[in-house]
Amino acid sequence: MNDVSQVDEKILKCIDTALEKLGESVPTSIFYYLKRDFGLERFEIPKKPEVFEKALTSIFGKRGAKVVEKLILVEIRKNFNIKKGSSSTFKRTVENIKKSSINSLKYSLTEQ
């Protein structure tokens, strides 16, 4: 069984939605190459965002990876209510979301 938090699952859904905009079979193909060439399972992407970024660059080239990353970041910003002005990388965005969710959890636990 894969240990995927609610935050990770939400991030993965954002990735799926963004990749589907490139074509119906694109997510399946990308996840296949991630596993085959990088040993990265879909559920591991939020835990290893740097590997995911490298894989996108390998698959799409530097410019293509930036386009795909922007599509993913648009979905993440929409789903996590992040302001558009924050121009960050996928890795930094995922790290910030995780820090934020941990801090929120700590705050809610101390309020009880």
Residue with tokens 């954002």: 14
Domains recognised in the chain with CATH numbers: 6-110 (1.10.1200.200)
Q: Which tokens hold the place of 44?
A: 């591991």
Residue with tokens 């801090």: 103
Query: How many other C-beta atoms can be found within 10 angstroms of the C-beta atom of residue 100?
Result: 13
Q: pTM (2 decimals)?
A: 0.85
Q: Over the stretch 25-79, which tens digit does the pLDDT of each residue have?
A: 999 999 999 999 999 999 999 999 999 999 999 999 999 999 999 999 999 999 9
d(CA 25, CA 62): 22
| DSSP label at residue 23 | -
